[in-house]
Amino acid sequence: MNSIFIGINVIKRSLYDINSINFLIIFPILAALIVFIMFGGTGVMEIGITNVQEDDGLVEYINNNDKYNVQIFNEGELEQKIENKDIKAGIEFAGLNQLKLIALKSDSEIHELRGFIEMYMSSVSLGVDIKQEEVSHDNKDSGSKMGLSIMAMFIIVFAGNGIGLLLEDKKLKTFARTFATPIKQYEAVLGYMMSNMILGIVQIIVFLFFTTFLFNINWEISVLNVFILLLIYMIGAIGLAIGLAGFISDSTKYTMILMLTGVVTSFIGGSFFPIENLNSFIQRISIFTPQKWLMDSFDVLADGGSFSDIQMNILILLLFAIVMFSFGLKVLKPNFEDL
């Protein structure tokens, strides 16, 4: 019962702090908005094709991608349909294995379509039978992974909010007073942990609500699975926040270092680009970041795997939290310096 009262008090104090509100509400919405601007809202692109060759499989190849819907027009209709904006792009066969891509303007969607078609034409010219499963995998909507990456970074920064309040309490000597009351040590620790968990869950829910139900971001896996992944990751992030607090006693410095840690570990952990693109030294370091195991878990689930396939990743995230928690355990105990 005492833990509940302590947790409620920490939550109330967090809600009075403008920085906490930013990380709790504003930043998740901002992350969702960034993902929507970069990857969302595109829907299905309407594409017209004319002069279709009977032995060409391009129409089927494009239609098998959920991003595109192909319409076949007679010669002379294609440009008119594009001008009327009935379709966004047109493909005209100009000869054997020669195509002409037509569009009013060249944007990221047109560039992606061009690359998609060139991949097919290259495989045809080389006599390679390109599989649609491989195509859809290579052209998956990267918005979901980018959204997960941005949110993972915010979770680490916000995870230290409750710990930052604890450091402030230690500095103001109010933390030690708590133990002058008839309260057990584990109750005080549990209260701070509970408040962090509850606020973190709110942060995740706000993010998933905006990305999924308002901006219609395709997560490639169920939103429940995304929530579970972020929840497990959050436990590791809280462990990291507590671990850092074991080495940094000043609350202001702690907040700045935690923010820097969140950004650096996100890049090293493969949040914003594949780990394979980094040098071997960084790849070895990445295994010590919770983001690496979060991203690996998401990739497995997005490729059709189940939670049984990521048991080891989940275990590593939980062990990461336990190990880091042990490093920062002293910050959760009053000592002579706090008197």
User: What is the chain's alpha carbon radius of gyration, rounded to the nearest angstrom?
Assistant: 26
CATH code of the domain containing 61: 3.40.190.10
Q: Would you state the structure tokens that stand for residue 22, as one six-digit string?
A: 């930013």
66-92 average pLDDT score? 82
For the chain, percent helix, then strand, then coil, each to nearest 5? 70, 5, 25
Q: Are residue 86 and residue 126 in the same domain, yes or no?
A: yes
Last residue of a domain, one of 82, 116, 138: 138
What predicted TM-score, i.e. pTM, was given to this entire model?
Answer: 0.68
Q: Are residue 181 and residue 212 in the same domain, yes or no?
A: yes
Last residue of a domain, one of 121, 138, 155: 138
Q: Are residue 49 and residue 106 in the same domain, yes or no?
A: yes
Q: Are residue 86 and residue 113 in the same domain, yes or no?
A: yes
**CB burial of residue 302 (10 Å; 0-12, 13-18, 19+):** middle
Q: Are residue 19 and residue 149 in the same domain, yes or no?
A: yes
Last residue of a domain, one of 138, 156, 179: 138
Query: Could you give the number of structural domains in the chain?
Result: 2
Q: Are residue 148 and residue 75 in the same domain, yes or no?
A: no
Q: Are residue 68 and residue 196 in the same domain, yes or no?
A: no
316-338 average pLDDT score? 72
Q: Are residue 308 and residue 193 in the same domain, yes or no?
A: yes
Q: Are residue 232 and residue 281 in the same domain, yes or no?
A: yes
| Exposure string over 270-291, b if 16+ CB within 10 A, otherwise e | bbeeebeebeeeeeeebeebbb
pLDDT at 21 over 90: no
**What range does the domain containing 275 cover?**
2-39+141-338
Distance CA 167, CA 173 (A): 10
Q: Are residue 325 and residue 180 in the same domain, yes or no?
A: yes
Q: Would you state the structure tokens that stand for residue 60, as one six-digit string?
A: 């089927």
- pLDDT one-digit tens code per residue, 244-288: 877 777 777 887 888 888 888 888 888 777 777 777 888 888 888
86-91 average pLDDT score? 85
Return the pLDDT at 94: 66
**CB half-sphere exposure, 297, CA atoms < 13 A:** 26
Q: Are residue 131 and residue 146 in the same domain, yes or no?
A: no
Return the pLDDT at 139: 39
Q: Are residue 149 and residue 269 in the same domain, yes or no?
A: yes
More confident of the two residues 192 and 306: 306
pLDDT at 4 over 50: yes
More confident of the two residues 236 and 132: 236
